[in-house]
Structure 1
């Protein structure tokens, strides 16, 4: 379980151009290597030739020397096949094969951490049916769970929306609602590590004069609907847009002509860290390293925390 000093985690994506050697570990307590997958034919954890190269790069990076940062392997991700996972967990034998191969891949560690990245809320809908997580098992077996408090709005919407609003006065699609739903479901706050995005969502406005939250759109905007934080700053510097910090939602958006972006910046990140403290959460995580700009958000989140030094 996370200690009172708090988790300050981040994911390093192995298919990103951002090299592990440039990670500034001073802002983090834990860093995830993303992603590994089980092999469909055997259900063993599959470490490809490229993964072996990348994991070695990750583990021997100079920034990890004399560092207390702990490293974890993230299994799954957007490219995983849910059918493979479903088949694997439905049978005790294949489940054991996967678990044992995962432990073998992490050999040499004195204590293994078991965490799970989950939906922003404790309940959700699948094919119109209400579902929920096994909260009793989470409380008993998992060191912590990490609600993904982002992707609230995106290309699937035909109006503008905030990627990671802390609050939403009209809907239950917000970080505050999601986190409180987990607590109400019985998961201890200290076992919740809240997700923060280092990217925003973009749209093309239908009418430049109608440019607030919920404004009609005619499709996605720059970078095919998603922009890393460093790209957002570049866009804002080049286009001199109108930048709005909406305190009601606890998030930012900017617009210039028909271009509209919803994202987090320093003030909204600071507000979210205050929220994690007020709720007694175990900490936060960032997705993903390489999207920040000169460690602006990473530094702000770390220095806004009252958890102190690493655990």
Structure 2
């Protein structure tokens, strides 16, 4: 499963509360779900704007010269009979006047090279910042989510220089966005081994010294989510083992993100594995590789909650409970799936609230049971809001 932490620097500015509680609920929206078929299709019109305080639109990208551009003009823009989803997304604020909308740039598929090259050049940084600002303002977003995955990693063109260049980019981006009262969020690596390669944490911590409009998002890829924030329990994903994941330590970011400014993220999907032996099927059973794909998301090793809850209704699965991770998992022959349901999410949220964090973030709303095929619509989001209240 994927876990997230988001550091909110200035809760007063960002906490635009939903009904029933005063916590932050940050919802990522994967726009590609517009193209899915049947019950998997999820358009802006399917979003329930009353269940989130912040909605993040994913993704736009950049050109080689640093210019921020739409990656799917037909979907995003109204030109040439396009769907104009930018505009429709921001019109959701008519349904929830306190909703904030954020435009995400980057993502895994964008890679690291273009961002490495851009951040190394004062001219390209300026182009990136001004075109990002213009796109955000033109279409009515309230801020930008910078999702460079990752400085000094993957296909980076400038290697270790990315670390300082990233800090400089953030500083300059803030200086420009502050003029317009715009929010900035940043997706950063969570595992210490990765984060230490990409970021100058003390420099990033200085974000507390200026205005309150910067968030840090910390995603972690793993399987199931543990209710412990201890360094000793952090694990690294190994395809060969169907084994629950622990929450990563927040120690690395502690100087930047005290608990009251953290938002804990939770996944709306499960991880699937193929067992080596169908008869050896408990927690930590050996697996030969990733498992089945969801009907709509169509990615081996991954299944949306909406896809899997329907499988549990229509197929025979042995559903079990991991008392250590406090999450369900299910077995069917050699198929092994670990996932979160409303009950396990409530426990995570209650645990997070007891730690004093500001709220919860989700990836991503289009894999919730938004049609209510397995019960109440948006069962996961509603469970989160109920627990926060």
| TM-score above 0.5, yes or no | yes
Stretches of structure 2 that go unaligned for 5 or more consecutive residues are 1-9, 16-21, 35-41, 78-83, 143-179, 236-244, 294-299, 370-376
Helix, strand or coil at the partner of 1:124: helix
Counterparts in 2 of 1:266 and 1:83: CA distance versus 1, 3 Å? same
1:186, 1:71 → 2: CA distance? 24
Rounded to whole Å, the distance in 2 between the matches of 1:264 and 1:247 is 13
**Equivalent in the alignment of 1:23:** 47
Post-superposition offset of 1:176: 3.7
Change (3 A) 1:139 1:29: farther
Correspondence list, 1:162-177, <5 A: 162-167=223-228, 171-173=233-235, 176-177=247-248
Instruction: Give the C-alpha shift of residue 9 in structure 1.
Output: 0.9
Secondary structure, in 3 states, of the residue corresponding to 2:33? Answer: coil
Query: Is 1:266 aligned to 2:342, yes or no?
Result: yes
2:108 to 53, 72, 78: 78
Asked if residue 250 in structure 1 is aligned to residue 326 in structure 2, the reply is yes
Residue 93, structure 1, aligned to residue 123, structure 2? yes
**Structure 1-normalised TM-score?**
0.84
Equivalent-residue separation in structure 1 for 2:360 and 2:206 (angstroms):
18
Per-residue deviation at 1:66?
4.6
User: After superposition, where does 1:42-61 map in structure 2 within 5 Å?
Assistant: 42-48=65-71, 49-50=73-74, 51-52=76-77, 53-61=84-92
Aligned-pair Cα RMSD in Å: 2.5
Report if the CA contact (8 A) 2:204-2:256 is conserved.
no
Deviation at 1:165, TM superposition (A): 3.3
User: After superposition, where does 1:72-221 map in structure 2 within 5 Å?
Assistant: 72-107=102-137, 111-121=181-191, 123-125=192-194, 130=197, 132-140=199-207, 143-149=214-220, 151-152=221-222, 162-167=223-228, 171-173=233-235, 176-183=247-254, 185-221=255-291
Displacement of 1:303: 1.0
Measure, in 1, the Cα distance between the counterparts of 2:279 and 2:228.
25
Question: Counterpart of 1:227 in 2: which secondary structure?
Answer: strand
Could you tell me which residue of structure 1 aligns to residue 310 of structure 2? 234
Say if 1:270 and 1:301, in contact at 8 Å, map to a contact too: yes
Deviation at 1:135, TM superposition (A): 4.2
TM-superposed CA distance for 1:271, in Å, is 1.7
- 1:288 corresponds, among 343, 359, 364, to 364
Task: From the superposition, tell whether residues 204 and 168 of structure 1 become closer, same or farther in structure 2 (CA, over 3 Å).
Answer: farther
For residue 54 of structure 1, report the CA deviation from its aligned partner. 2.3
Other-structure match for 2:176 = none
Q: Is the 8 A contact 2:229 2:250 kept in 1?
A: no
| Secondary structure, aligned partner of 2:360 | strand
2: CA distance between counterparts of 1:56 and 1:198?
26
Name the CA shift for 1:33/1:269 in 2 (closer, same or farther; >3 Å): same
Q: Is the 1:168–1:249 Cα contact (8 Å) retained in structure 2?
A: no
* 8 A Cα contact 1:255 1:261, kept in partner: yes
* Cα 1:168–1:282 shift into 2, 3 Å: closer
Distance, in Å, in 1 between the alignment partners of 2:359 and 2:214 is 12
Between the two proteins, the alignment pairs up a number of residues equal to 290
Structure 2 Cα separation of the partners of residues 253 and 286 of structure 1: 20
Give yes or no for the alignment of 1:13 onto 2:84: no
The 1:168/1:178 distance shift into structure 2, 3 A limit, reads: closer
Secondary structure of the corresponding residue to residue 98 of structure 2? coil
Q: Give the secondary structure class of the aligned counterpart of 2:366.
A: coil
**C-alpha separation between the residues in 2 aligned to 1:250 and 1:66?**
34
CA contact (8 A) 1:148 1:194 kept: no
Q: TM-score, with normalisation over the residues of structure 2? A: 0.68
